[in-house]
Structures are given as structure tokens and as C-alpha cells.
Chain A
Amino acid sequence: MLSFIVRRLLIAIPTLLAIITVCFFLMRVAPGGPFDAEAPVPPEILANMRAAYNLDKPLVQQYADYMLNLARGDFGPSFKYKDFTVTELIGQGFPVSAQNGLAALVLAVLIGVPLGIFAALKQNTAADYTVMGFAMTGIVVPSFVMAPVLILIFAIGLKGTPFQLPAGTWEGGAFEHRILPVFCLSLVYIAYLARITRASMIEALRQNYVRTARAKGLPFRTVVVRHALKTALIPVVTFLGPGIAFMLTGSMVIETIFQLPGVGRYFVQGALNRDYTLVMGVTILSASLIITMNIIVDVLYGLLDPRVRYE
């Protein structure tokens, strides 16, 4: 297993390098620059600004410098947030995104998986159809529709009632201000988890070893929890791996709608402002997280299902 992990890590490094390289050169060959949006400045000042950000050097030199700095954990200065480095911005934004993502993830697992098991055990009954109907809604209705609608209901419609929830404010992350964004963030995952758990649970309940366990007289509850659930969780883990990475790096939509100071919003702002270094920083962060999570998922496979061999 150790050699499997090492090998996967060795493949991960060139992958990440390729992503960084493609990203870097795409940014540099594209027409327009980060200083386009500002009021026109005399060419001398523009030249100075470009020099200050090393944009006047040859492309290869810029690339080498960037990679060297990156190796030291320095993502470079932000082009738009003048007084900050990208490392500082990510340092501020990532905890916000990660906390919300983690909360949403816990919520999604706590609601989604039991819902899926419940639907599987009540297969083809009204209860099953209701749960799956909700799940379908959660999957189909995108977060940028769900979030405004929930704001419309809880922040505007219920104004003046005890159920009113704040939206679009952060206040340093007070509990109240997190409820709506975290709930919106988790909805789609609840829906997917319920669907995936249901499908794999139904599949698992049909297996011979489950029948054997029932036949030797184990209580149904034990069979479900100890035998069926373990196999049924494999697809759930596969889905959660990349899901966690996306959640931790922040949902661009949710953070934009609720104006949360997370990395997802920084990415959108950076993209709109052509803040090259910021956009690259966030991209590298999520790419590394996704790759790491995929490796962890592959390792977990083997732990959940002994039939899986590490090749």
C-alpha cells in the first residue's frame, strides 16, 4: 500500500506541474493585461508598474521566477489588492471557505446518507418517492437559483419573524450569518448523497453475504449497519473525495451571493479583474486539493473493500 501511495504521489507531481504551466502561459499569451481596467496612465508609469511586477522580463524568466517562488510557498503579489500577497489573501480566504465547506460536508453526510438508507429500505413506497423527489430537486435546481430563493424566503419574506436569517453579511463568521450559506452549500451534496447511498444500498442488500448474515439469524438492523452499509459506502466515498476538495476551496456561487470573504469569491473577483497571480493561486490550491483527495479515495477503497488490490 505504501508503494501505491508513493507511486500515486509521483504521478501527481507532473500532473500539478502541467496544470501550473498551462495556466501560467495561458495567462501570459492572452491579449490585455491586469492594468487595462484602470485609468490610462503615461507609458513611463505603465512601464514602471510592469517592472514592479516583473512583467517586463522575458516570458521564460518570468516562468522560472514564478516556479522558484512557488517552491518556497510564495504565490507572488496580487495585482489588484495592492498591499497583499496572494499567499496572504489565500491565508485569509481559505479558512473561511474551509470552515463553511466542512460544516456543509458534515451536514450533507448527516442528512444525505441516512436519507439514502431510509429510501433504500422503503424501496418503491411513497416515502422512497418523496425522498427521491427531493433529491432530484436538489440536484436539478442549481445553487444560484436555490440561494436567491432561500434569501427571498428567509431574509426578506420572514422579515420581522423569529425565523428571519441574515444574508449577505458575514460579521466575522457569527453562527447566524453562516446558517443560510452553509445550508445552500450542502443542499446539492445532500441530494447526491441520498441518491448514491440509496442505489448502492439497494445493490448491497441483494448480495449473497447479506442473505447469509440474515440466514444465520442476525437482527436486520445489525445486517444493515455492519454488513450492507460498509459496501454501500464505497460509491459514497468516491463521490465525497472530489466533493470535499470543491467544498473546501469554496463555492464560487455561494460565496459571491452571500458575499463571504472566501477563496471562491477571490477567484471570481480575480477573474473579473484579471488578477493573474490570484487566479493562479486559487487554481493551484484547488488542483492540489482535488489530486490529494483522489489519492485518499483510492487508499480508502482498499480499506472499505478488501477485494480491491493496490496495483
Chain B
Amino acid sequence: MNSGSSLNLSSPHGAALTAAEDIQGRSLWQDAWRRLLANRAALVSLVILVIVGFACFALPHFLPWTYEQIDWDRMEATPPSIETGHYLGTDTLGRDLLARALFGGRVSLTVGLLATFVALVIGVTVGTIAGFVGGRVDQALMRFVDFMYTVPLTFFVIILMVLFGRNFILMFLAIGCIEWLTMARIVRGQTLTLKNKEFIEAARAVGGSTAAIIIRHIVPNVLGVVIVYVTLTIPQVILIESFLSFLGLGIQEPMTSWGMLINEGAAEMESTPRALLVPAGLMTLTLFCFNFLGDGLRDALDPKDR
């Protein structure tokens, strides 16, 4: 730019030069970002998700009531009111509905993110190794994935949760361990197409080890597909977590999550539908946004699929 402005702009050559210098190379990611921004539904979803995330993680600190605090003056479901500080009212035990819904969201979102991360790590590791190394290793790993597909995994998560105590860490580990299968298949497929490209051959020619090639060259190139799939896995995990907590097999009191709140709300919906509709609405909104964002990302990162 600076050097361009010093040129004689009146001459046609100068103008062409300036223009040429203004053109910057756009990376795949910049392209994808621009396409994503052009997608109204995905963009709105992203904004809503940021707001929901902020509300769940930061807002509870500024509310007059915490999620487990009982308002002893109101030991029954009370309607929303600004004066009492219960902006969405209370549940039948006098606990603040807004604070509980937000805290439940924090737990659900955290489980969603952590379990997806576990699935991501296992899925990408298995997928890249199977695809890149090939041969017997590939056979063995993929047979194992096939086998896992035929197992009713939700049953196993429930059995695990019941047997080893319903704790938070086990929960996201167990869910992560059943959600990596599809990720591994997708990543393996991508790795197979990358494996014989020239840049991999070049990396090998300069003496890169298998591990180094996988980490430095394969993983960054499958990232696009992985990100799309991650956005679609998070809502699935949130669903599983809420499903378990709804049945009383997930998160334990005094902790809470969306599933548990929906269960509590369903029990008292005849008198206070709010108690059901607030957590259910918040969760549904979040799930919708993740799905739209995932679809948008797929369009943005995979232009040939449009």
C-alpha cells in the first residue's frame, strides 16, 4: 500500500500496480468465513449461541439469587417479578427459575463441549491412523468401529452411569467414548483422499516420520470436515446428557442441567407451565442454533456440496 501510493497514479501502469498490490491472497478459512457471514440463518445462530453461552456462564454471577438458593419467603411457585429479583419467578421450592435455567445450561453446554472434545480426539486419532497407515491397522480399527456400531451404546452409558456413580466427569467421558465412531469414519475417508497427494509425498521425501506427517499435514487438512461435524455433535451430546438427566440417570442434585429441569418442570407443569417451558425453550433454542450453524458451516467449508 505505502509503496503503491508513492507511484504515479495517473499512469495506467501505476493504477494497475496499485490494484495488484491491493489484492491479498485469501485463505480457505477466510473464504469459508465470508460464506458463513453471508448465510443469514447460520450467522443469527452464531450470535444467539454466543449470547446463550455468555448468559449461562457469566450472567448467574450478576443475578440476585443463585441456582440452589431457596427464597424462604416464597416456598411455592411465584410469578415473575422485578421487586423480588425472581425475573422469571420461582419453582415450587422457591428457587429462582432464571438462575436455575442458566446454571443448568452451563452444565449441559460444558458436558456438550467436553464430550465432543473427547470424541474429537479419539475420532481424529483413530481416523487419521487408520486412513494413513492403512493395511492391517486400518482393517482392525475399522472392524472395531463396525462392531461398536452394532452395540446399543446408550444402554452402556446408562449401565456405566448407574454402576460407577452419576458423576460429571464419567458422564462426559462415557458420552465422548460413544460419539467418536462417525467422526473416525469421516476423518478416515478424508485421510484416504489426502494420503496420495504430492505434498504428503514431499513431506515423506524430506524424511518426515509418520506421526509428524499426520500431525503437521493430515490433521490441518481434515480440520474443515471435523469442525462441521463437531458443531453437529455438540447438540447430540447435549441431547444425550439431557435425556439421561431427565430419566434421573445423569447429573445429580444439587447440580442441575436442562434435562433435569425439564423433568422437574414436567412434574409441576399443571400448576406452573413456566417451570417446564423456560428450560425447554432455552435448550431447544440452543439445539436449533447448533444445527443451523452446522449446516451453514458445511455449506461454507464444502463449496462443492452446495
Contact = CB atoms under 8 A, between A and B. Distances in A.
A256 to B, nearest CB: 6
Interface in B255-289: 259, 262-263, 265-266, 269-270, 273, 276-277, 280, 283-284, 287-288
A271 B259 contact: no
A32 B159 CA distance: 13
B192 interface: no
B242 interface: yes
A156 interface: yes
Nearest to A30: B163
Interface stretch (A50-58, A140-148, A205-213, A223-231): A140-148
Nearest to B154: A252
Size category, B interface = 35 or more
Interface in A253-300: 253, 256-257, 267-268, 271-272, 274, 279, 282-283, 286-287, 290-291, 294
B291 A140 contact: yes
Most buried by B among A23, A27, A145, A257: A145
Contacts of A139: 291
A274 B158 CA distance: 11
B162 interface: yes
Given A272-B162, A283-B155, A287-B152, A152 B273 contact: yes
Given A15-B147, A144-B259, A156-B270, A27 B246 contact: no
B249 interface: yes
B185 to A, nearest CB: 15
A107 interface: no
Given A30-B163, A271-B158, A152 B269 contact: yes
Contacts of B283: 145
B194 interface: no
B247 A256 contact: yes
A180 to B, nearest CB: 14
Contacts of B265: 148
A293 B159 CA distance: 23
Contacts of A15: 147, 150-151
A207 to B, nearest CB: 18
A267 B243 contact: no
Nearest to B269: A152
The dominant DSSP class at the B interface is helix
Contacts of B155: 267, 282-283, 286-287
B235 interface: yes
Nearest to A283: B155
B235 A140 contact: yes
A204 to B, nearest CB: 18
Given A272-B162, A294-B150, A149 B270 contact: no
Interface string A143-161: 0110011011000100000
B162 A290 contact: no
A253 B243 contact: yes
A251 to B, nearest CB: 10
A64 interface: no
Interface string A237-260: 000000000000000110011000
Contacts of B262: 144-145, 148
B72 interface: no
B242 to A, nearest CB: 7
Contacts of B270: 156
B287 A253 contact: no
A102 to B, nearest CB: 19
Given A145-B284, A271-B249, A279 B243 contact: no
Interface residues of A, number: 39
A107 to B, nearest CB: 22
B174 to A, nearest CB: 12
Contacts of A126: none
A96 to B, nearest CB: 18
Nearest to A268: B247
Contacts of A151: 266, 269
B249 A272 contact: yes
A23 B291 CA distance: 34
A152 B272 CA distance: 11
Contacts of B266: 144, 148, 151, 257
A121 interface: no
A136 interface: yes
Interface string B129-166: 00000000000000000010011100110111011100
Most buried by B among A18, A23, A149, A282: A149
Given A141-B284, A149-B276, A271-B162, A156 B269 contact: yes
- The list of the 5 closest CB pairs from A to B, nearest first, reads A30-B163, A148-B266, A145-B280, A144-B246, A283-B155
18 contacts: A23-B159, A30-B163, A140-B291, A141-B284, A144-B246, A144-B266, A145-B262, A145-B280, A145-B284, A148-B269, A151-B269, A152-B273, A156-B270, A253-B246, A256-B247, A279-B159, A283-B152, A291-B150
Given A148-B262, A148-B276, A148-B280, 12 more contacts: A136-B288, A140-B288, A142-B242, A144-B246, A149-B280, A151-B269, A152-B273, A268-B248, A272-B162, A274-B162, A283-B156, A286-B155
